[in-house]
Amino acid sequence: MKKTISIDTPLAEITLRKYEKPKNISKRDLVRKICLSLGLLQPGDSRDVMVDVLQVMLEAKEGLSSTEVEKLTIDNRKKHKLKMLGIAPSNVRRQLLRLRDIFIVEKIKNSYRIKENSTLISLFEENIEEYYMASILNRVREYLKEADKVFK
């Protein structure tokens, strides 16, 4: 008889990393550290089109279609003399979705923009820190309290 192994699927998860303070850093390197800090990019990852997608969104003065984001992403990679990896339209849309999932980008009709044209720090504090992380921390506390009862 076959044993069924249950797969624990998290309801939410977040990765945060701490790096040195930003000093005399280029725009692209700053965006790269933000992506690394928020878990959007893995350390040592050569597939870093997320950096270009986020930089394009941060530099945009108005909403952009996914096609415009793709074109500007390619232009940004050419400007920095980077390999044209990960620039397929489907991948650019996937990166936009990841930015939407962590409340940095929003989609209005067929246009993407930084959520509510807000600042990154306010988006982080309001959406990630106060809402997302708080709910994760509360659930972890519930598990820890339950473990304290069970193992006492």
Same domain, 44 and 71: yes
Q: Strands 105-108 and 111-114, how do they pair?
A: antiparallel
Same domain, 93 and 54: yes
Q: Which range of residues forms the domain containing residue 144?
A: 118-152
Query: Residue 47's pLDDT is what?
Result: 83
Query: Residue 133's pLDDT is what?
Result: 92
Q: How far apart are CA 103 and CA 126, in angstroms?
A: 9
Number of domains in the chain: 2
* Of 23 and 5, more confident: 23
Same domain, 90 and 136: no
Query: Residue 148's pLDDT is what?
Result: 97
**Mean pLDDT on 37-48:** 89
Same domain, 81 and 148: no
**Mean pLDDT on 36-44:** 92
Structure-token pair, residue 75: 């232009």
- Tens of pLDDT, residue by residue over 43-93, are 988 789 999 999 999 999 899 999 999 999 999 999 999 888 888 999 999
Collapsing DSSP to helix, strand or coil, 62 comes out as coil
pLDDT at 22 over 90: yes
The pLDDT-based confidence of 6 (bands split at 50, 70, 90) is low
What residue spans of 1-152 are helical by DSSP H? Answer: 27-37, 49-59, 66-79, 89-101, 120-123, 134-150
Same domain, 64 and 83: yes
Query: Residue 2's pLDDT is what?
Result: 64
Query: Residue 76's pLDDT is what?
Result: 93
